[in-house]
Chain A
Amino acid sequence: MQTTISLEIQRYRPEQESEPVYQSYEVPLRKDWVILDALNYIKDNLDGSLSYRWSCRMGVCGSCGMMANGTPVLTCATFLETYAPGPIRVEPLINFPVIRDLIIDMSEFITKLKQMKPWIVREEEQPLSDGEYLQTPDQLTEYKQYSMCINCMLCYAACPIVGLEPGFLGPAAIALAQRYNFDNRDQGKKQRTEILKEDNGIYECTFVGECSIVCPKSVDPAGAIQRYKVAAAAEWWKSLLLPWGNR
């Protein structure tokens, strides 16, 4: 019976090498171990210099996204056994610059995310004395799915358009824009749509659909983008046919 499995990990130490290299590690193949456990085992027992991000170990924080045999996964939710007899090739998420080993630079993603104003935008705040903004369960259901996003960026690694068009705002940012657009307390849809209907927005997406396949939280960003396209196209025709309307 197989007792160990080999991990081929992409290493990149900018002070040491100009190109990434692969390094192999043999780790115990335990039934209850996920790839993140194996990385922690390597860090603790075999090679303390290995760098990677992780935090919660339970699919909530979105820090431990990496490529496993070419597919973007949350390493805390991907069992070693799935890949037996191995080896497992572990690489940083593609479509992002690499800072070191398995750590990517996410600053571009954060910039894109901020452009979407992922918070409740109000034209006028209602005074505290009026109490909270009320919401029915049906109104919650409208956006709840899109609110499950943990910003793990697996969808950015899966999306071929993100790779081809670095300016594309990308699946998670657009799904999060929808999360607030569909929230009855929000009034910022117009501002978000202004950005999203133009270059680098929703129409860059060609509905490959990989973002929804890799999403660990079933957010379905591809669906969110298609819904946005339908709404924006309807708006476009409306402004063409009824130019005197609400512009």
Chain B
Amino acid sequence: MKTRKSIDPFWWSLFGTGGVIAALCLPALLFLNGVAIPLGWIEAPSYEHVLTLVKNSLTRLFLFVVISLSLFHWAHRFRFTLYDGLQLKHLNQLIAVLCYGTAMIGTIASLYTLWGL
């Protein structure tokens, strides 16, 4: 039952690491930037302060990894939601291109934005 060499492990490893990173980092980031700072629990940092922080290479790398891998996590999950959930088996290729393509565009956009600051 030998078949073509599958690329599934590649997509799955992006999905898996994306899931771990999203689960670890997004709740903390959302809590800080979406709840604690707007509600005034933590003093809002100034624009310059945040800009300096984001311009640091390590912060850029961190944000890039979080954004890109979260997108690939979404892409893989959404691909199978459409494929299995909505029974769109015949559109497999199109769905894969759209899902992973969106994640790639998001990855390029985050690269461009983060390093263009």
Contacts and interface: CB of A to CB of B under 8 A. Distances in A.
Interface of A: 115, 160-161, 164, 194-195, 197-200, 203, 206, 229-230, 232-233, 235-237
Interface of B: 1-6, 8-10, 12-13, 16, 80, 84, 87, 89
Contacts of B9: 197, 203, 229, 232-233, 235-237
B84 A199 contact: no
A206 B8 CA distance: 12
B84 A164 contact: yes
B16 A198 contact: no
A111 to B, nearest CB: 10
B3 A199 contact: yes
Contacts of B13: 233, 236-237
Contacts of B2: 194, 198
Nearest to A199: B3
A48 B13 CA distance: 54
A195 B9 CA distance: 13
22 contacts: A160-B84, A161-B84, A194-B2, A195-B1, A197-B9, A198-B1, A198-B3, A198-B6, A199-B3, A199-B4, A199-B6, A200-B3, A203-B6, A203-B8, A203-B9, A206-B80, A230-B16, A232-B9, A233-B9, A233-B13, A233-B16, A236-B10
A197 B5 CA distance: 9
B78 to A, nearest CB: 11
A237 B13 CA distance: 9
B29 to A, nearest CB: 25
Contacts of B80: 206
